[in-house]
């Protein structure tokens, strides 16, 4: 794209305003239909039987008694899937339903469809599974040892160095410069080991779907997902179907944050529907969501950083060990590339190992892999500043990555907004506000890559001159509003003339999942291009009516006008007038655009957190929180703020309370919202968002993804705040009250 295509210098009329979202009234009146809200005639209810063992060979499954129960219409096990494909079952399928082994507590082993939920639940009790219990491992460091139980064989990539168990599946190393020399030049070196526990995405809507499959190989699937095209691809592969025969319609989605980018229950519902000959609805319980859908990786990390007395970072090194459950994942390489991205370093090296354990397969969660690594790095940077008595914000500005910096992951940065973001934090009253006793202020930078990907948009000009935009990305946080805004802006019409809908898989070409902070960027870009195509056609229609050359017409403020004095004297033709004559001038008018959008541009954020620690209980209260983030261009500022606030609070939860707790028996101890405690309203202050707008040259309006970066800084911001409030350096998350209290007591005892 030539830079001339970009219009981010111009004055916007619709972009930057805060119109009501098109799906708003449905959502405040309870009409919006989410995954579990669809009911169809003759529908069955399905339930899943799950393994109580973290690691066990499945000797046999006897379903005969369950099948005899009155009202049971189908029972399936992994055997029912073997007829769909001769290939080795994919990891995705084996994660949906255990084949030879149950690989984690809660792994699906069989499923039932019946006339009611009550009958289906009763039938599960009649299924008899014979297990041979195998030794298990849930801790990342244990799983790497050569004597560890092997979770899942055959996954070790050629790049893994020797000396580890077969659970280590891949290895990555990034960096540049002479580390030894760098550390030799340091006046102070801090080296620490950090741990983070797995956190769940915690969307309030459990996974749900409704499948109807017929013996001729056709199927309709309704489900809550971040990407129905991906659901189609994965399910079609598993069910041995052609993509065209599987129509997937996305419901409204009740949160995802990365956790609904893959499938868990959809093939089960499809197979039950095929076997029973009826539509089958399958809704997970919250317990199932915790046990069998993706949390994040848990991590164990060593970070070593050297600094001079005047605050120059001389070298940085990080070793990251991430476990992502029973199947391989690609998370540690993202962490290893992100860890030091905020810094301009002469010597930096990161190494990362991906590891298998008997836990559910990790799923993406906002900036997957980055929060853990950056938490460790930013905590050490803060400790160095504290020990050298340096201002942590000045030191970050001093060492900040900028245009021309050779990034820690390789490429040289072009224009990036980190220093501007840090300076915004420095100027903000929050940074110098006084703190009381037992209070501490923490600061952290965050980074994420963002991306674009495959995107299709069709923009139809209706006969009355209004616009229908059809896109293919489930709207997870108000994107229909921002897409409508971009269409309106480009066409020069008002927002309320545009309605954006999300198409099913058979109504539009392939769209990548709603992930990678890509929707406002990539769907927005395709919408603008589709609008430009429609404008070109409308100018052509005006030229036909006027009898002048097509090139002699241009578009301005929602109307076609003669391009200049030589084109002739004609009154502007509005979009309404052109649309009304579209049948007579050549037929309906539409624009469309299909693209693999590149050029998303990386993103930085800076968070400031004030906390107060109750020294009697170890409980931490966040008392002030400010988020600074570069949005490129905020299309609908309210939803940009929402992403910044929501991501920050998810990170606060991860830092303070959220964790997967496994017992020695390998079972998840806290599979519910009572014991897995996400932040509630009374835990929090207002979260102040400060949006910076440094245009991304890769988007016509300068848009940069904003969805993911906001979860990256809170882990270290909170850790640094608690560490400064207590004068104890913490290195394990979450900072739950018992953990903080025991450190406070130990400190008191040790004097």
Minimum gap (Å) between residue 437 Cβ and another protein: 21
> Measured from the CB atom, is 517 or 723 closer to another protein?
517
Q: Is there binding between residue 649 and another protein (CB under 8 A)?
A: yes
Q: Which pair of structure tokens corresponds to residue 403?
A: 């245009």
> Measured from the CB atom, is 129 or 370 closer to another protein?
370
Q: Is there binding between residue 312 and another protein (CB under 8 A)?
A: no
Instruction: State the binding string over 410-429 for another protein (x if CB under 8 A, else -).
Output: xxxxx---------------
- State which of residues 109, 179, 272, 334 lies at the interface with another protein (CB under 8 A): 334
End-to-end CA distance of the chain: 64
Closest CA to 612 of 672, 670, 668, 684: 684
- State which of residues 52, 149, 255, 468 lies at the interface with another protein (CB under 8 A): 255
Closest CA to 63 of 71, 55, 72: 72
Any idea what DSSP says for residue 406?
A: B
Sites for another protein among residues 539-578 (CB under 8 A): none
Which value, to the nearest 10 degrees, does the dihedral of the CA atoms of residues 330, 417, 412, 699 take? 80
Q: Which stretch binds another protein (CB under 8 A): 133-141, 309-317, 537-545, 684-692?
A: 684-692
Sites for another protein among residues 8-27 (CB under 8 A): 18, 20-21, 23-25, 27
How many whole angstroms separate alpha carbon 671 and alpha carbon 652?
20
Counting DSSP H helices and E strands in the chain, the numbers are 20, 26
> Measured from the CB atom, is 501 or 678 closer to another protein?
678
> Measured from the CB atom, is 507 or 670 closer to another protein?
670
Instruction: State the binding string over 280-309 for another protein (x if CB under 8 A, else -).
Output: ---x-xx-----------------------
Sites for another protein among residues 210-249 (CB under 8 A): none
> Measured from the CB atom, is 385 or 525 closer to another protein?
525
Residues 6 or more apart whose CB falls under 8 angstroms from that of 98 comprise: 51, 58, 78, 107, 108, 109
Sites for another protein among residues 177-216 (CB under 8 A): 201-206
> Measured from the CB atom, is 171 or 701 closer to another protein?
171
Minimum gap (Å) between residue 518 Cβ and another protein: 7
> Measured from the CB atom, is 478 or 591 closer to another protein?
478
Q: Is there binding between residue 1 and another protein (CB under 8 A)?
A: no
Sites for another protein among residues 164-183 (CB under 8 A): 171-175
Q: Is there binding between residue 684 and another protein (CB under 8 A)?
A: yes
Instruction: State the binding string over 43-82 for another protein (x if CB under 8 A, else -).
Output: ----------------------------------------
Sites for another protein among residues 257-276 (CB under 8 A): 257-259, 261
How many whole angstroms separate alpha carbon 12 and alpha carbon 34?
34
Rg (CA), the chain: 27
Is-contact 307 416, C-beta < 8 A? Answer: no
In 289-411, the DSSP E strands lie at: 298-307, 313-323, 348-355
Closest CA to 295 of 653, 716, 571: 653
Sites for another protein among residues 629-648 (CB under 8 A): 636, 638-639, 641-642, 645-646, 648
Q: Is there binding between residue 596 and another protein (CB under 8 A)?
A: yes
CA dihedral sign, ordered 283, 285, 286, 291: negative
Q: Which stretch binds another protein (CB under 8 A): 233-241, 268-276, 444-452, 557-565?
A: 444-452
Minimum gap (Å) between residue 724 Cβ and another protein: 23
How many whole angstroms separate alpha carbon 481 and alpha carbon 618?
43
> Measured from the CB atom, is 447 or 546 closer to another protein?
447
Instruction: State the binding string over 476-495 for another protein (x if CB under 8 A, else -).
Output: xxx-----------------
- State which of residues 254, 311, 325, 702 lies at the interface with another protein (CB under 8 A): 254
CA distances from 42 to 7, 277, 420, 663 (A): 54, 10, 59, 42
Closest CA to 160 of 356, 364, 352, 24: 352
Counted residue by residue, the chain has a size of: 751
Q: Which stretch binds another protein (CB under 8 A): 29-37, 57-65, 536-544, 607-615?
A: 29-37
How many whole angstroms separate alpha carbon 126 and alpha carbon 128?
6
> Measured from the CB atom, is 201 or 444 closer to another protein?
201
Closest CA to 621 of 673, 658, 656: 656
CA distances from 442 to 5, 624, 687 (A): 41, 11, 15
Q: Which helix (H) or strand (E) holds 141?
A: helix 140-144
- State which of residues 85, 117, 438, 462 lies at the interface with another protein (CB under 8 A): 117
Q: Which helix (H) or strand (E) holds 637?
A: helix 637-656
Sites for another protein among residues 698-737 (CB under 8 A): 698, 708
Closest CA to 609 of 627, 594, 630, 631: 627
Minimum gap (Å) between residue 710 Cβ and another protein: 9
């Amino acid at each position: 794209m030539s830079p001339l295509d970009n219009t981010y210098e111009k004055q916007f009329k619709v972009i930057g305003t805060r119109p009501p979202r098109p799906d708003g009234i449905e959502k405040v009146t309870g009409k919006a239909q989410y995954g579990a809200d669809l009911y169809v005639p003759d529908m069955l209810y399905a339930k899943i039987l799950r393994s109580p063992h973290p690691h066990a060979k499945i000797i046999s499954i006897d379903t005969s008694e369950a099948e005899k129960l009155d009202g049971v219409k189908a029972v399936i096990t992994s055997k029912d899937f073997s007829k769909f494909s001769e290939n080795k079952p994919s990891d995705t399928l084996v994660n949906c339903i255990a084949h030879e082994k149950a690989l984690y507590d809660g792994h699906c082993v069989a499923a039932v469809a019946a006339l009611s939920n009550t009958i289906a639940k009763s039938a599960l009790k009649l299924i008899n599974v014979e297990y041979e219990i195998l030794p298990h491992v849930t801790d990342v460091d244990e799983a790497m040892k050569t004597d560890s139980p092997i979770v899942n064989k055959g996954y070790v990539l050629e790049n893994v160095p020797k000396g580890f168990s077969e659970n280590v599946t891949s290895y990555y190393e990034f960096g540049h410069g002479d580390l030894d020399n760098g550390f030799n030049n340091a006046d102070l070196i801090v080296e620490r080991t950090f741990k983070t526990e797995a956190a769940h995405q915690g969307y309030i809507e459990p996974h749900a779907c409704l499948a109807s499959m017929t013996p001729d190989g056709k199927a309709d699937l309704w489900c809550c997902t971040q990407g129905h095209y991906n659901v189609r691809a994965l399910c079609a592969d598993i069910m041995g179907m052609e993509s065209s025969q599987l129509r997937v319609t996305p419901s409204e989605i009740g949160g995802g944050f990365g956790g609904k980018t893959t499938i868990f229950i959809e093939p089960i519902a499809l197979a039950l529907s095929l076997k029973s000959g009826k539509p089958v609805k399958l809704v997970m319980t919250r317990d199932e969501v915790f046990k069998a859908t993706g949390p994040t990786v848990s991590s164990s990390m060593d970070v070593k950083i050297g600094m001079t007395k005047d605050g120059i970072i001389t070298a940085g090194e990080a070793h990251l060990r991430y476990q992502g459950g029973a199947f391989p994942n690609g998370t540690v390489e993202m962490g290893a590339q992100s860890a030091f991205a905020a810094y301009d370093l002469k010597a930096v090296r990161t190494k990362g190992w991906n590891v298998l354990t008997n836990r559910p397969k990790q799923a993406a969660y906002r900036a997957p892999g980055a929060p853990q690594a950056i938490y460790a790095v930013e905590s050490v940077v803060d400790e160095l500043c504290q020990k050298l008595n340096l201002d942590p914000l000045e030191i970050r500005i001093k060492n900040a990555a900028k245009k021309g910096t050779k990034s820690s992951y390789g490429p040289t940065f072009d224009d990036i907004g980190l220093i501007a973001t840090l300076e915004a934090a420095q100027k903000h009253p929050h940074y110098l506000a006084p703190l009381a006793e037992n209070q501490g202020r923490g600061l952290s930078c965050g980074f994420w890559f963002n991306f674009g990907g495959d995107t299709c948009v069709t923009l139809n000009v209706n006969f009355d001159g209004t616009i229908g935009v059809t896109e293919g990305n489930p709207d997870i946080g108000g994107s229909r509003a921002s897409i409508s805004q971009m269409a309106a802006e480009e066409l020069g019409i008002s927002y309320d003339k545009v309605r954006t809908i999300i198409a099913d898989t058979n109504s539009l070409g392939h769209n990548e999942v709603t992930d990678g902070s890509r929707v406002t960027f990539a769907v927005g870009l395709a919408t603008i291009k589709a609008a430009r195509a429609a404008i070109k056609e409308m100018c052509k229609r005006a030229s036909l009516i006027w009898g002048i050359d097509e090139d002699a017409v241009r578009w301005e403020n929602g109307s076609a006008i003669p391009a200049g004095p030589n084109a002739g004297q004609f009154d502007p033709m509005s979009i309404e007038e052109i649309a009304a004559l579209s049948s007579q001038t050549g037929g309906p008018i539409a624009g469309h655009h299909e693209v693999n959008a590149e050029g998303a541009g990386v993103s930085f954020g800076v968070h400031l957190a004030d906390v107060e620690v109750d020294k009697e209980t170890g409980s931490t209260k966040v008392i002030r929180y400010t988020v600074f983030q570069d949005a490129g261009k905020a299309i609908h500022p309210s939803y940009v703020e929402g992403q910044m606030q929501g991501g920050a609070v998810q990170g606060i939860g991860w830092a303070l309370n959220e964790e997967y707790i496994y017992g020695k028996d390998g079972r998840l101890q806290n599979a519910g919202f009572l014991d897995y405690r996400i932040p509630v309203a009374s835990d929090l202050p207002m979260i102040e968002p400060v949006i910076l707008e440094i245009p991304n040259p890769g988007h016509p309006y300068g848009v940069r993804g904003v969805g993911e970066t906001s979860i990256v800084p809170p882990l270290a911001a909170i850790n640094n705040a608690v560490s400064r409030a207590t004068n104890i350096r913490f290195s394990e998350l979450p900072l739950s009250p018992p953990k903080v209290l025991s450190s406070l007591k130990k400190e008191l005892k040790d004097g």
